Amino acid sequence: MSLNLSGNVFSGKIPASLGNLLRLTTLDLSKQKLSGQLPSELSGLPNLQVIALQENLLSGDVHEGFSSLMGLRYLNLSSNSLSGQIPSTYGFLKSLVVLSLSNNHISGLIPPELGNCSDLEILELQSNSLTGHIPADLSRLSHLKVLDLSRNNLSGEIPEEISKCSLLTSLLVDTNHLSGSIPDSLSNLSNLTFLDLSTNNLSGEIPANLTRIASLVYLNVSNNNLEGEIPLLLGSRFNNPSEFSGNPNLCGKPLDRKCVDVAERDRKRRLILLIVVAASGTCLLALCCCFYIFSLMRWRKRLKQGAAGEKKRSPARASSAASGGRGSTDNGGPKLVMFNNKITLAETIEATRQFDEDNVLSRTRYGLVFKACYNDGMVLSIRRLPDGLMDENMFRKEAEFLSKVKHRNLTVLRGYYAGQQQDLRLVVYDYMPNGNLATLLQEASHQDGHVLNWPMRHLIALGIARGLAFLHTSNMVHGDVKPQNVLFDADFEAHLSDFGLDRLTIATPAEASSSTTVGTLGYVSPEAILTGEVSKESDVYSFGIVLLELLTGKRPVMFNEDEDIVKWVKKQLQRGQITELLEPGLLELDPESSEWEEFLLGVKVGLLCTAPDPLDRPTMSDIVFMLEGCRVGPDIPSSADPTSQPSPAQQSETR
């Protein structure tokens, strides 16, 4: 049983009578004006799994009684006026996945007992008055993905053991009083995306091995006491001076301060370069003199020969020149910039059969995608971008940026070609042998859906959500989420494609008329059509449409102007005709099985994503949490619930 009253203007205290709802699993009273202390009766609800009380005016100590709720998975008390200390007994919450106590007045130490919350993925304690050291016990949180301890009064060193949290994607400890050096072991966090160590008292040099973190997209070490030279690769990768400023003894790019030894090395390099240029010039001059003398001697000899002999030698010279030209093209031709392989442009043109029409895999607003089969057996996807592009240097910079966006559910940029001619720009991706989701759904409808059972559909939806959530955490927007942009590798794992290409080109309407300037009709959100601008919220809407299509088999273009897929799904739910929602391949689902519940939760997530008001839609991180947790049952709070009107079947179940 769930109670979701979020986003209203309720005031006063939380009623203690809520403690009588013994079957309650979800309590969402977020975004209100509730005040006073938390009633102790809430700790007597044995089935409570989700508590969302953020963005209120609650006061008093952090409620210790919640530690008795052994099934609690989500606890969000952020943005209130809570004080006191974090109870050490919260370490008993072994099922806890999210703990957010940020933006309060909490003081004292971070309890090392939190390291016992073995399922914890998100720990947010920022903007409080916490003191003491960062407990090394947090390194035992093997599932931890987000650790935000910023804007507190923490001191001591960053524990080396934090590198054991191998799944960590965000480590934010800025605006504290941390000292010591930056641990070398941070380079072992291979999934790290955001690292903020700014505004502390850190000293020593910046570890050069931080460049080994391929997924890192944001680094800030400003306002510390760091010294020495910024590692060259790190400085070129993060070229914003503000991210290194405020360290008086730090030097090297991107800062304007040159290191003393660097200046000396540059002087020696210039001297060596001058000597090499002078020696090369002397050798070239000597060669020119020799060639001139040799040519003069040959010319004088030819004057003595007849015209017939001259005609016989001319074809030989032409043949020799033609042969030499082919050899230089094959061996020294332009090459593609590849991050793992070495491929020439000539090999790529041959692999696509001169960009032959028969090798076209897809046609999009961002050009044609070709299948490229190389002589060594390697197969890649080559996208030829349309004309009217940015200059070469800007193209290279944007392509290098996109190559760093890596996730198992995204198509990763493997290379690019940016020649001097603006009419040829290529980007290289892995070849996806199992096509796209649109084709798969079409084949499933022709085969009564048997090719796509429920576990496969659930994994596809989860893969798309994870890829899109990663883009959003990297401050990127996709802009055109649809089944055609979901590709499958040899293991049928979903990969979201066609993101970030607006950074490389000016889109041209090469696609069918169903495309708009901000997405594809049927999938693009209403506000994006009106404003012409895409956002994370419009991506969530498009994902919701794709999810509903994946679950029901109904394409958005099948409906008329008066009804769309969202209205149709709501109508079936309100009538209690849930079986009408099932794709033919899902008709065998047992209404008493857990898969049936998972299907209904998937439909509900799709409707949450397509809420008319963008502010009412969940974030992609929330959606991943919901889809990952659909096998254990609890609903995740949201300020909009399009299924709040229960179907007749749901009403009878509630009774």
Look up residue 584 and give its amino acid: P
Per-residue confidence (pLDDT) for residue 630, from 0 to 100:
56
Spatial neighbors of 463 by CB under 8 A, at least 6 apart, are 409, 493, 494, 495
Answer yes or no: are the C-beta atoms of 89 and 65 closer than 8 Å.
no
- The catalytic position among 174, 196, 480, 539 is 480
pLDDT tens-digit readout, 223-271: 999 999 999 888 888 889 999 999 999 998 888 888 875 556 667 777 8
Active site residue 480: yes
* Residue 86: predicted pLDDT: 95
Query: pLDDT tens digits, residue range 539-564?
Result: 999 999 999 999 988 888 777 777 88
**Residue range 355-359: mean pLDDT, rounded:** 88
| Rounded Cα distance, 382 and 483, in Å | 20
Q: Please give the pLDDT value at position 22.
A: 84
- DSSP 3-state assignment of 76? strand
Domains along the sequence of the chain with CATH = 2-251 (3.80.10.10), 337-430 (3.30.200.20), 435-506+519-629 (1.10.510.10)
Average pLDDT over residues 594-603: 86
Which range, of 283-292, 307-316, 475-484, 604-613, averages the lowest pLDDT?
307-316
Residue 416 above 60 pLDDT? yes
pLDDT of the residue at 239: 87
For residue 316, pLDDT beyond 60: no
Cα–Cα distance for residue pair 445/449, rounded to 1 Å: 5
Q: Are 70 and 48 a contacting pair, CB within 8 Å?
A: no
Which is more confident, 577 or 540?
Answer: 540
Whether 186 and 212 have beta carbons less than 8 Å apart is answered as no
Tokens of 346: 């000539």
Pairing of strands 367-373, 379-384: antiparallel
What type of residue sits at position 132?
G
Q: What pLDDT is stored for residue 303 in this prediction?
A: 55
Q: Supply the pTM of this predicted model.
A: 0.47
DSSP state of 353: T
- Name the least confident of 129-138, 164-173, 174-183, 445-454: 445-454
Query: Phi/psi at 381 (nearest 5 deg)?
Result: -105, 125
Lowest mean pLDDT among 6-10, 117-121, 385-389: 385-389
Exposed/middle/buried for 307, CB within 10 Å: 0-12, 13-18, 19+? exposed
> Who wins on pLDDT, 446 or 507?
446
Name the token pair of 12. 């006063």
**Tokens matching residue 80:** 């209130």
362, β-bridge pairs? 369
Kind and range of the H or E run holding 228: strand 225-229
Torsion sign across C-alpha atoms 469, 474, 477, 478: negative
**513-545 per-position pLDDT tens digit:** 344 567 788 899 999 999 889 999 999 999 999
Contact (Cβ atoms closer than 8 angstroms) between residue 61 and residue 38: no
Q: Residue 101 is which amino acid?
A: L
Supply the DSSP string of 184-205, one letter for each residue.
Answer: GGGGG-TT--EEE--SS--EEP
* Average pLDDT in the chain: 83
> Could you give the residue ranges of the DSSP H alpha helices within 474-619?
526-531, 536-552, 565-575, 594-609
Report the pLDDT averaged over residues 424-444: 89
pLDDT at 448: 52
- Measure the CA–CA gap between 141 and 98, rounded to whole angstroms: 12
Contacts of 52 (CB under 8 A, 6+ apart): 6, 26, 27, 28, 29, 30, 74, 76, 637
Least confident of 49-63, 204-218, 249-263, 502-516: 502-516
pLDDT higher than 60, residue 328:
no
DSSP string, 379-394: EEEEEE--SS---HHH
Residues contacting 432, CB < 8 A, separation 6+: 381, 411, 487, 488, 489, 495, 497
The helix/strand/coil state of 213 is coil
